[in-house]
């Protein structure tokens, strides 16, 4: 039997789940839910998605009335679903909880922020790309005009830095993306606790596409990502994906060790010509040599630590796209 390439069929009317993580979002929920429901209804009417599609709000241990609002929405309209985490676990974990729940019911899942900074009207284009055969559709900001110069600068620097460290990450893409069920199934095999979705999703592979959109300003409430959280997030991203910082130590060790040999020669010449005080040569020589050797050793130990790190993450070693085989 041939495993028929799915992307050659014309499909429509599959089930879409919108996953929305919410942390203290009582100020935006009424408006957000109204706009998302409107969007979903339109898509159902045109037959783009099935009537079983839902909007799933994930309450990430909010301290305000967020969960009460979600309960109310669910009571009034079955289009709204809710998932409540036992406590605040942070954006990435809340998102994962929502995605893993939604994949049990949906053919495709789109994640987006509760503040609707990401343009809701891009959703149709996400779904169209999905029907065209993409398992992952990345939402990419076409401009950052509404962000402050500081946020823009730091964010762009971060993407460039990550890429320089060899991490496969999509430029200007936050967590606004569509994933098919099989892409989510593959994602669930990544069991790491320090989760950085933007880095993991490209690792999953499968055909993907990009949809660009304008980013708006948060229409109510405050950002839940203060500078401290943003820095921690960036640091997490780097240390979960790259052992290059460790390799840097090794190279630094090599450079200093080589420099120490040159230093030693220079010191010996100085000593031969009698330009030094007693003990200077031995003292300086040992400081440089020992420093270089120590850094080098640290780097080598670091390489092993990096290997252990990769092992304990137990990432899947491969994910199968399709199999052609005529055995039953």
**Using CA atoms, how far apart are residues 177 and 116, in angstroms rounded to an integer?**
13
What minimum distance in Å lies between the beta carbon of 152 and ligand UDP? 12
Buried b (16+ CB within 10 A) or exposed e, 238-252: bebbbbeebeebbee
| Residues in touch with ligand UDP (CB under 6 A) | 21-23, 25, 60, 88, 90-91, 94, 113-115, 117, 223-225
Q: Name which of Mg ion, ligand UDP, none residue 285 binds, using a CB cut-off of 5 to 8 Å depending on partner kind.
A: none
CB of 305 to ligand UDP, least distance (A): 29
In this structure, what DSSP letter does residue 25 have?
A: -
Q: Which residue has the tokens 């509404």?
A: 146
- Kindly state the smallest distance separating residue 212's Cβ from ligand UDP, in Å: 18
Structure tokens at 244: 């290059």
Q: How far is the CB of 307 from ligand UDP (least distance, A)?
A: 32
**What's the closest the beta carbon of residue 21 comes to ligand UDP, in angstroms?**
3
CB of 157 to ligand UDP, least distance (A): 15
Is 60 a residue that touches Mg ion (CB under 5 A)? no
- Looking at beta carbons only, is 74 or 151 nearer to ligand UDP? 151
33 binds, among ligand UDP, Mg ion, none (CB under 5 to 8 A by kind): none
Q: Are strands 136-141 and 208-213 parallel, antiparallel or unpaired?
A: parallel
- CA proximity to 51, closest of 116, 129, 106, 111: 106
Closer residue to ligand UDP in complex, CB, 115/119: 115
CB-wise, 53 or 92, nearer to Mg ion? 92
> Could you tell me the two tokens for 115?
């503040």
Binding mask 81-120 for Mg ion (x = CB under 5 A): --------------------------------x-x-x---
Complex with ligand UDP: residue 59 or 135, whichever CB lies closer: 59
For the beta carbon of residue 144, count every other beta carbon within 10 angstroms. Answer: 16
b/e per residue, 43-69, with b = 16+ CB within 10 A? Answer: bbeeebbeeebbbbbbbbbbeeebbeb
Q: CB nearer to Mg ion: give 117 or 134.
A: 117
Nearer to ligand UDP by C-beta: 14 or 25?
A: 25
- Please name the helix (run of DSSP H) or strand (run of DSSP E) that holds residue 181, with its range, or none: helix 181-187
Query: Smallest gap, in angstroms, from Cβ of residue 89 to ligand UDP?
Result: 7
Of these partners, Mg ion, ligand UDP, none, which one is at the site of residue 16 (CB under 5 to 8 Å by kind)? none
Binds 225, which of Mg ion, ligand UDP, none (CB < 5 to 8 A, cut-off by type)? Answer: ligand UDP
Element (H or E) spanning 235, and its range?
Answer: helix 227-241
Give 122's DSSP letter.
G
Cβ closest to ligand UDP, residue 33 vs residue 117: 117
CA quadruple 150, 154, 157, 159: dihedral, nearest 10? -130
Show contacts with Mg ion in window 114-153 (CB under 5 A): 115, 117
3-state helix, strand, coil in the chain (%, to 5): 50, 15, 35
Residues that bind Mg ion (CB under 5 A): 113, 115, 117
């Amino acid at each position: 039997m041939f495993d028929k390439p799915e992307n050659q069929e014309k499909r429509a009317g599959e089930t879409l789940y919108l996953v929305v993580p919410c942390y203290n979002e009582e100020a935006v929920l009424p408006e957000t839910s109204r706009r998302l429901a409107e969007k979903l209804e339109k898509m159902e009417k045109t037959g783009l998605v099935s009537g079983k599609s839902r909007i799933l709000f994930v309450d990430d241990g909010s301290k305000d009335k967020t969960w009460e609002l979600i309960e109310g929405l669910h009571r009034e309209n079955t289009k709204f679903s809710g998932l409540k985490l036992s406590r605040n676990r942070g954006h990435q974990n809340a998102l994962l909880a929502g995605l893993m729940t939604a994949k049990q019911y949906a053919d495709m899942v789109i994640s987006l922020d509760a503040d609707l900074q990401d343009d809701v009207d891009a959703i149709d284009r996400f779904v169209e790309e999905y029907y065209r055969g993409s398992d992952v559709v990345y939402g990419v900001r076409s401009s950052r005009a509404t962000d402050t110069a500081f946020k823009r600068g730091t964010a762009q620097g971060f993407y460039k830095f990550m890429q320089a460290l060899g991490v496969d990450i999509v430029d200007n893409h936050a967590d606004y993306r569509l994933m098919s069920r099989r892409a989510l199934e593959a994602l669930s095999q990544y069991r790491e606790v320090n989760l950085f979705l933007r880095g993991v999703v490209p690792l999953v592979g499968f055909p993907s596409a990009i949809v660009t959109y304008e980013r708006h300003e948060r229409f109510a409430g405050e950002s839940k990502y203060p500078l401290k959280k943003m820095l921690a997030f960036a640091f997490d991203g780097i240390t979960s994906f790259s052992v290059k910082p460790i390799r840097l130590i090794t190279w630094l060790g090599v450079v200093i060790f080589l420099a120490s040999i040159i230093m030693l020669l220079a010191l010996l010449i100085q000593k031969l010509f009698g330009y030094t005080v007693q003990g200077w040569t031995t003292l300086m020589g040992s400081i440089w040599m020992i420093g270089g050797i120590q850094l080098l050793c640290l780097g080598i130990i670091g390489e092993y630590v990096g290997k252990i790190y990769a092992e304990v993450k137990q990432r899947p070693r491969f994910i199968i796209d399709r199999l052609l085989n005529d055995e039953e």
